Structures are given as structure tokens and as C-alpha cells.
Structure 1
Amino acid sequence: MVKAFIFDFDGLIVDTETPWYYAFRDIYEEHGVELGLELWSKNVGTSFEEFHPFLYLEQALQKKIDHDHIKLISEQKYEVYLGQAAILPGVYELLQSAREKGIQLAVASSSTRDWVHGYLQKLGIFDYFTVVHTSEDVKRVKPDPELYLLALQSLGIEASEAIVFEDSPNGLKAANAAGIRCIIVPNEVTRGLEFAMHELRLSSLAEIDMEAL
């Protein structure tokens, strides 16, 4: 029996992934460097450990760059591309249906607590979630399973009693490593990436059939 839904945040509840990619793609182009999706996707759903956009740009240019300036410019471009932050299709309806059926809800995100809490509160959905775990709560973020294992512990359930919703291969790897079934809902940045060992693939959460779940 399903007792809980555990959600990733970035790219699943709000598409923050695509604006960040566009922002850094523009910055790279302004420096005469191409930033492909395959390269950028290495940090989607995880930390900058494998691919750090600032350090990679320095390597490509073979010179130091002003990190503070790049950070400021990237944030300005991100805000323009994001526009008015909006909850993605089907998210609110799924949260409402889950609440009506007594299914617990959680967020497990590799992003920071302030980032995730801020958006959840701005969108008016923070109170739907019994548990919200972020990068500050674990030693290792996705694709390590620690975030999902912690969410299970906090919810007081077994892996077999949960379903994870993810948009990235790193998130899927984390869910699989934690032994939790995973439904993937890729966004514009991740839809062309390879996903293995998932329960179901949807184009949006609006396609969810609660009775089938």
C-alpha cells in the first residue's frame, strides 16, 4: 500500500532548471564558449561536484574569471528567464488528491533549505508537506540515496510504501539506490537524457491517474 509520495523540487514542482541552464548558456556564449545540455545535465539534481560552471568556464578560457560578477549576472539572467515562478501542471492537483486520500507528502531536494522553503511558501504549498529535507540535512546529496533514506525515516515508512517523483537521472539513481519506486517527469533540460529502471515516465504530473497509482 502506498503511504507517501516523495517529491524532488527543482524541475519537478517548479521548473527552475531550464532558466538556470539558459542563464549560463548565455554567459558561456558571451565568452565564446558553448554549453551543451549534456554537460550542464551533470549537475542537474545534484551538486556542482562533477561539473562546476564557473570552474569549467575558467578551464575553457584558460584564465581566471570574476566569480562574484558571474554569479550576479547569472542570477539576473535567471530571474528574467524564470519570470513569475509558477507551479508546474498537475502538481497542485496531485497534492490535493494525496491529502484527501491520507497519503503523506515529502520533499527531498539537493538544493538548500532557504531555496526550497522559500519557493514552497511563495507558491502556498509548504503546509502540504509533512517532511522537507534538503542539502543541509545530509552529508551527500543525490545521486547518493541519503536524502531519500532520511525522508523514509522521517515519515516512518518502508521503501515499498513510497513513490518518488523525479525529473533528473541523478534523482532517479538516488531513488533506485534507496529501493523506492520512481516515476520520472522530465523537464525541458532533462527530457533528452537517459533514464533507466523507472516505474513510469510522464510528460507532466497532470497525467497522473490516482486510482492507477
Structure 2
Amino acid sequence: MSVIKALIFDFDGTILDTETAWYEAFREIAREHDIELTLETYGQCIGTSLHVFDPYDYLITDQKVPMDREMLHKDVHSRHTRMMAEEGIRPGILDYLAGAKQLGLRIGLASSSKRSWIDKYLAQLGIGDYFETIRTAEDVELVKPHPALYELALQDLGVQPNEAIAIEDSPNGARAAAAAGMHYIVVPNPVTTFLAFDGEPHRLQSLEELSLQALLDGIAAK
């Protein structure tokens, strides 16, 4: 029987859907140049760094879009900012955070993004105080799907891998949690729902589908 002592959340796409806006921003620009940027192609970089697939290089170098990287970067970020103005915290997240705190569970965050990015949105959402540890790209040599981010968060919280649940939205994030030896569930967003996940993970359309207590009871019963 597993006794769960901690929840560790991914950020982008899990707590706040920043990922759909990134994809839509790149896809809009690509279409303006008669290029179809498929989700299958773009999805390689979701939940990890741009080392696997760099959409900037793809458009400029491979597809010959007549823009330099700085110009493209500004255009993408401008569109992303506009789209994110309408985005709120994903359903069920607040209930899970509040429920975990009430139950005395440790709460962490592990993200492949930079700390400044995370801090910006946690402040906007007003949820930063929930997290006892926040591990980001600056803390590791390899981001997800490598398990290092989760391993550090587990160490910080003083729990074993089988005593923690990762909340993820992407295949790369799920691979990182699995490699760290954790329990995990996936709650895909409108972009990652079309990506292929390894195995048959516990998958929800929204955290509102399953209460935290029901999740804990289900894992304890295994």
C-alpha cells in the first residue's frame, strides 16, 4: 500500500495552459507564410526544452521564413501575451492545492521553464504560497523528460518517489515522473490531448473529474 505524502505539480499546461497559446502563436505565423506547422511536429518541444525541436529554427532555417530570430521571437511573444490575457487557472487546480494543504500533504512544483517565468504567473494567479519547493530549468542540467527536476523536488520535500503523485499534462512530463519512480496522473490541455502518451497513464480531462481524496484512495487501494 502506498501512503501518499506529497503532490508535485508541473506548471505550463498543467496549472496554467500557456502551451496552447505558444502553439497557436507559432502556427499563426507559419500559416501567414503558407506553412502548416502540425501538432505532431511542434509537440516534440512541449514539456521540455527547445533542444529536441526548436520552432524558431524550424521556421527560419528549414522553412525559410524571411525573419531573423529576434524579430520572430518578438512576434511570437506578442501573440502569446495577447492570447494569455484570456487564460485562467485550469479547472480543479485550486481545489487540489487547498485539499492537499488541508490534508497535510507536502506540495511542490517541478517545471522545465525558467524561474522568472514561473514566478511571474504564480504571482498573477496568487498561488505561490502553496508550494514548499519550486524546481525549474536553472536547477538542473537536463529538464524533462529527464527525472532530475522531480528528483530534486522529492529531496526537498523529504519524501520517497512512491510517496508522491506528479500532476502532468504532457508526454515528456509524464516520462519524467515515471523515470523518477513516482505515481502520476495526466490532465492534458487542448494541445497535449492529441499527443501520444507512453503506456496507459491515469488520464483525466480535468481535475474536477476526480477529487483529491478519491485519487488518494485509488492509489492506496492498488
Change (3 A) 1:39 1:73: same
1:185 aligns with 2:187: yes
TM-score by length of 1: 0.96
1:110 aligns with 2:103: no
Identity across aligned pairs (percent)?
46
Letter in 1 for 2:67: I
Structure 2: any 5+ residue segments left out of the alignment?
217-222
Distance 1:183 1:61 in 2: 36
Structure 1 residue 64: Cα displacement: 6.4
Does the Cα contact within 8 Å between 1:159 and 1:180 map onto a contact in 2?
yes
Q: What residue is the counterpart of 1:94 in the other structure?
A: 96
Structure 1 residue 197: Cα displacement: 3.5
User: Runs of 4+ in structure 1 displaced over 4 angstroms?
Assistant: none
Q: What residue is the counterpart of 1:45 in the other structure?
A: 47
Structure 1 residue 63: Cα displacement: 6.8
Distance 1:113 1:122 in 2: 14
Structure 1 residue 34: Cα displacement: 1.0
Q: Which moved more, 1:200-209 or 1:146-155?
A: 200-209
Does the Cα contact within 8 Å between 1:94 and 1:208 map onto a contact in 2?
no
| 2:207 aligned residue (202, 205, 209) | 205
Distance 1:34 1:199 in 2: 30
Structure 1 residue 198: Cα displacement: 5.1
Distance 1:77 1:63 in 2: 17
Distance 2:199 2:138 in 1: 28
Distance 1:72 1:131 in 2: 31
Aligned length: 213
Structure 1 residue 123: Cα displacement: 0.5
Q: What residue is the counterpart of 1:23 in the other structure?
A: 25
| 1:12 aligned residue (11, 14, 17) | 14
Structure 1 residue 33: Cα displacement: 1.3
Deviations 1:69-88 (A, max 9, x none): 11111111111222234111
Does the Cα contact within 8 Å between 2:60 and 2:68 map onto a contact in 1?
no
Deviations 1:181-212 (A, max 9, x none): 11000001010111124541100111222222
Deviations 1:83-131 (A, max 9, x none): 2341110000110011000011110000000001111111010000001
Deviations 1:127-167 (A, max 9, x none): 00001100001110000000001111111110010000100
Q: What residue is the counterpart of 2:35 in the other structure?
A: 33
Distance 2:5 2:65 in 1: 52
Structure 1 residue 50: Cα displacement: 1.1
Distance 2:211 2:32 in 1: 45
Q: What residue is the counterpart of 2:220 in the other structure?
A: none
Distance 1:28 1:172 in 2: 29
Does the Cα contact within 8 Å between 2:187 and 2:206 map onto a contact in 1?
yes
Q: Which moved more, 1:160-169 or 1:201-210?
A: 201-210
Distance 2:111 2:54 in 1: 18
Q: What residue is the counterpart of 1:195 in the other structure?
A: 197
Structure having the higher helix fraction is: 2
Superposed CA RMSD:
1.3
